[in-house]
């Protein structure tokens, strides 16, 4: 049995979670909160890097963020179909880690895998609480499902001040050199939207969102269920 996590964030590929909520993760791990990431795929269809390269980069980023646990389900990249076996694999991970909060990519994104991942996690969170679904593992009632942004920031419901964590987030993103560093002459890499100042654009996005509350940087989240708030 894997040690339980307070927060479990899912991404379609290694680096998705870091892009969307790396600062929020760093903020919580620094306070002793146990955070885990589960990558659905090994990003084997990526134009740059190999599965082994991404595995090493993800391990480096995990250390930067102070994660308690990281896993990959090895589902097929560009093949997140929503099949019963894929949902079962995600439910099993939720039930093993028993998180209070789960995070998934926002449901609208230019990358189809991010959209598919969002839908899969939403279904898995629902199924995880059903007593008669996969009865070999105890059911888990997730308190709230949040959606983080990768390429856009629409309908932001909550924001987190990451002004003190932005440097850590950037360091975690820079671990993914195969994805974000411009290709050099002689390298077996090609130019993609990710190699064209993508990290700088993420930083600019977080800066603009932070300005809405007078903060230097912020990360945004969306929800489909009401957020419980206690004022006093």
* Residue 2: per-residue pLDDT: 54
Domain edges within the chain = 7-223
What's the Cα-to-Cα distance from 158 to each of 59, 62, 212, rounded to whole Å? 28, 24, 12
| pLDDT 10s digits, 183-218 | 988 888 999 999 999 999 999 999 999 999 999 999
Q: What percent of the chain has pLDDT over 70?
A: 99
Name the CATH superfamily for 7-223.
Answer: LmbE-like (3.40.50.10320)
Residue 1 has pLDDT above 60, yes or no: no
Strands 218-223 and 144-148: antiparallel
What pLDDT score does 153 carry? Answer: 84
pTM: 0.96
């Amino acid at each position: 049995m894997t040690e339980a996590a307070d927060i479990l964030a899912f991404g379609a590929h290694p680096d998705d979670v870091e892009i969307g909520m790396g600062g929020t993760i760093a903020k919580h791990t620094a306070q002793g909160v146990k955070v885990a990431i589960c990558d659905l795929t090994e990003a084997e269809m990526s134009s740059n890097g190999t599965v082994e390269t991404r595995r090493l980069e993800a391990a480096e980023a995990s250390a930067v963020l102070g994660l308690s646990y990281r896993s990959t389900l090895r589902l097929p990249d560009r093949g997140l179909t929503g099949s019963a076996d894929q949902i079962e694999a995600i439910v099993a991970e939720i039930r093993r880690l028993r998180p209070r909060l789960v995070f998934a990519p926002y449901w609208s994104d230019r990358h189809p895998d991010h959209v598919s991942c969002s839908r899969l996690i939403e279904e898995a969170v629902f199924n995880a609480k059903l007593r008669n679904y996969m009865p070999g593992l105890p059911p888990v009632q997730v308190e709230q499902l949040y959606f983080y942004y990768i390429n856009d920031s629409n309908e932001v419901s909550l924001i987190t001040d990451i002004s003190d964590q932005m440097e850590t987030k950037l360091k975690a993103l820079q671990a993914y050199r195969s994805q974000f560093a411009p290709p050099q002459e002689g390298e077996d890499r090609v130019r993609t939207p990710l190699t064209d100042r993508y990290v700088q654009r993420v930083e600019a996005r977080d800066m603009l969102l932070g300005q809405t509350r007078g903060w230097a940087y912020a990360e945004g989240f969306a929800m489909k269920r009401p957020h419980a708030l206690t004022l006093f």
